[in-house]
Amino acid sequence: MVTSMKPQTPPGERLEITGIRDHLHEPRRLRGRGWLTAAVALLAAGGALLGASLDVRMPVGAGRFLSTGLIVAWCVCALYLAKRRPDEPSGLVMSTGALGATLAVLGTVLLGRHVGSSARDLAAACRAMGVAALPACGLHLVLGLPDGRLRSTARRTIVGLAYGAALGVAVLGFTRRPALPLVGVAVLSVFAGTAAALGFVARCRQATPSTRPRLQWPAWGVTVAIAIGSGTAVLNGLVAWPGPIRAIAVGATVLIPLSLAIAASGQIAVRIDRLLVHTITLAGLVGLVGTSYVLVVVGLGRTPTGDERSLLGLSILAAAIAALLWVPARRRLTDFATRRVYGERHAPDELLRTFGSRLTRALPLDELLLQLAESLKKTMALEAAEVWTRSAEGRLERVVSVPDRGPAAIALGADEERVVARAGVSGPVWARVWLPALIPTDREEPVLRIVPITNSGELLGLMVASRPDGAIAFDDHDDQALTELARQVGLALHNVKLDSALQESLDEVRRQADELRASRARIVQAGDAQRRAIERDLHDGAQQHLVALAVSVRLARQVAESDVSQTITMLEAIGTDLQDAVQELRNLAHGIYPPLLAERGLPEALSAAAGRAALPTSAEAESVGRYPQATEAAIYFCVLEALQNAGKHAGDGAQATIKLHENEGALLFEVADDGAGFDLATGAHHGHGFVNMADRVGAIGGTITVDSAPGTGTRISGRIPLLG
């Protein structure tokens, strides 16, 4: 039985997948929940317009027309969500909240008209139900962000409790008609607001990059609405402007449904980050200015009147303009002051503060260190600034000095190097003991600081900062700045060291790649040459013997009837020639791959090769066992090549020795002779035979070493690692 396994999508990721799918397909038609959302939204908008068209003698909240416009805005945004994302319940929650507001407006309008008692009871019930439903719907909308789905049992429970409490407040309002249960509404509103704030913060912490914009847009709308309402209240309290505070504050909330609609658009939602940052900054600035003026007015102990309000209003406007212009003006003023004070565009301490960021730029390290020394000299009022680096030989070398004092070097022992690396910011007393070469001989009490440049405990260099005689001594702030700067320079030098090591490794890899390509070409050429040699040996050797045997057999058949004795003689000669042909073929097969090597291994094969060598040769390989075929073949043919070279160049009277043994996970072999030898400087060991040996052994991870000198013979050693 075959079971189909489907990957289970975690609940937290289901929203992201849905959002991506909706964004890609861009649904344009209503379906399912979208039709219900549209119906509720149209019902709410129609009821609000009906309430605005009726005559009424009593005020309706912030105003009938403002309330109607706000309800219509929520309905329009709910319709947009229903069309854009019909599978999400957020549009339905928005339209339900708008319907609750419509009921509250209609109930209030009807209570202000001359209607019968039954109609008044119905109006009171509508008003109580609508007012109580608003906090519950708002809580549902916030806890369901960004798509209206309640993803946890806790959120569903809280929203359920809110709707239950709203129903209780509505029943209480109906029993006390026409008065509203203000205490119950206030308690429900506080509960809903607190739960919404906590739930929104928790949802933001769990947000992913795909859902974060849809959470940030509502946050932007709420922030701007609160800023407008608070700013209006503060200004009205200080200068009695602008007009009705409640109308402006309620009207500003239209940004909330608009932000929810914008968040549903995939093209616009991603553009929230920069806008939200500027909005929060501006809101904080407005709050700071308003708070400052409130504290000033409270400090006066009375409310401004008459001309004082006009003056206060103008001063608030001036403060707001100055606050808004401060950010762009600050940079230009800083540049202007820097040019006038230091004679250049940037302050001398800027390099010290931005040295770490400059390391990523395409600046040579020498140029960067020179700029550092110049900036250090200006910033700390130094007489001289020097940077020393540690060379590969372990010496400290002066690479940068301002003013230029030329190159210099200090040799350090191992103990001195450890002491210097562990030292912190040090003065002249310490330097006289460990680095006396850094102390000027013509000054008794120099004012200087020596800072080791280290990374992970390794000494990479020194920084030396000195002031003229009689100058102010270095303080703790200077020492701290030098320490931090030395840390950054140490990181830079360490990176340069790593870059150099990486470049060397890259060069080595390139060299090995070139050798590998050349080796491959030589292997192909050697294979072609071996095939041509086999063809030549077959043609000139065994083939000639077999042709001669065929001719002899035909002649023997012709004389067989006339001369029996001659036939017998010819057959004996044919037998001898046949044995020679067989031996020729055997020798040829032995040169391709010796059967003795395949059957008995290296010890007997090398002993046989020593017996056939041109020089008297001994073989020592008794303790060696069997190895992979590639390893045995490489060693065998390398030994044959070395014996052939020895036979050609060692000279008369020379002797050769073959040694083979295993040591430390590798198979070692050696072919040595006591012949004439040669000078390695002549490059003779780079000849064809030596290159063939290196290619054979290198193909299986081994190495070949040639050691020779005139009059001392030649030793060819090989090492092949044994895997496993």
Reduced to 3 states (helix: H, G, I; strand: E, B; else coil), residue 397 is: strand
Q: Residues 168, 169, 173, 174: is their CA dihedral positive or negative?
A: negative
**Is 245 a residue whose pLDDT tops 90?**
no
pTM for this model (two decimals): 0.50
Nearest to 383 by CA among 470, 484, 476: 470
Considering only 157-166, 343-352, 479-488, 620-629, which range has the smallest mean pLDDT? 343-352
Which whole number is the average pLDDT over 624-630?
85
Which whole number is the average pLDDT over 238-246?
77
The C-alpha angle 4, 5, 9, rounded to 5 degrees, equals: 140
Task: Identify the H or E element spanning 436.
Answer: none
DSSP code at position 681? G
Reduced to 3 states (helix: H, G, I; strand: E, B; else coil), residue 155 is: helix
Task: Identify the H or E element spanning 449.
Answer: strand 447-455
Q: Residues 86, 89, 92, 98: is their CA dihedral positive or negative?
A: negative
CB 176 within 8 A of CB 229: no
**How far apart, in Å, are the Cα atoms of 532 and each of 525, 542, 688?**
11, 15, 17
**pLDDT of res. 234:** 79
**pLDDT of res. 5:** 39
Residue type present at position 484: E
Q: Structure tokens of 462?
A: 């020194």
- Rounded Cα gap, residues 38 and 30, in angstroms: 9
**pLDDT of res. 280:** 79
CB 444 within 8 A of CB 425: no
The sheet with strand 395-402 has its strands ordered as: 409-411, 395-402, 384-390, 458-467, 447-455
63: phi then psi, degrees, rounded to nearest 5: 125, 140
Considering only 69-83, 552-566, 643-657, which range has the smallest mean pLDDT? 552-566
CB 211 within 8 A of CB 249: no
- Name residues whose C-beta falls within 8 Å of residue 138's C-beta, 6 or more positions apart in sequence: 97, 192, 196
Q: Residues 268, 271, 277, 278: is their CA dihedral positive or negative?
A: negative
Considering only 6-15, 116-125, 372-381, which range has the smallest mean pLDDT? 6-15
CB atoms within 10 A of CB 651: 14
Reported as a single tens digit per residue, the pLDDT across 169-221 is 888 887 877 777 888 889 999 999 999 999 999 998 888 877 888 888 898 89
- Rounded Cα gap, residues 175 and 172, in angstroms: 5
The C-alpha angle 220, 222, 226, rounded to 5 degrees, equals: 120
